[in-house]
Amino acid sequence: MCKACAQKFNERAGEHFRHGEYEQAVASYTSATGVDPTSAVYFSNLAAAYLNRKIPRCRQCSDRRAGAGSQVDQSTVPQSRGC
């Protein structure tokens, strides 16, 4: 295991992440975890890159949901009955 190599992958991935290049960040963080699979930091960074990669799509869905909410027949929505 080459911890210095893993750190270089992590640093490269961090640059991609900061520039919004999440696909490249995922690739570099994946390399870092492959070289040093004992680093929780690298896995945490990889998870963040995966999450951020999906955020634009999440925003689209949220916007569509907001628009669709006004068209919902409220009589069909289950009501909370409390505890």
Phi, then psi, of 80 in degrees rounded to 5: -70, 135
The CA R_g of the chain, rounded to the nearest whole Å, is 20
Among 1.25.40.10, 3.40.50.850, 3.40.1710.10, 3.40.50.300, name the CATH number for the domain at 3-57.
1.25.40.10
> Residue 33 pLDDT > 80, yes or no?
yes
Q: What is the pLDDT of residues 53-67, one digit of tens each?
A: 887 665 566 566 666
Of residues 49, 46, 39, 44, the one with CA closest to residue 18: 49
Task: Report whether pLDDT(49) > 50.
Answer: yes
Is the per-residue pLDDT at 72 higher than 70?
Answer: no
Residue 81 scores a pLDDT above 60: no
pTM to 2 decimal places: 0.66
Looking at residue 83, its pLDDT comes to 47
* Extents of the domains making up the chain: 3-57
**Mean pLDDT score of the chain, rounded to an integer?**
81
Within the chain, residue ranges assigned H as helices are: 3-18, 22-35, 40-69
Q: Which pLDDT score, from 0 to 100, does residue 53 have?
A: 86
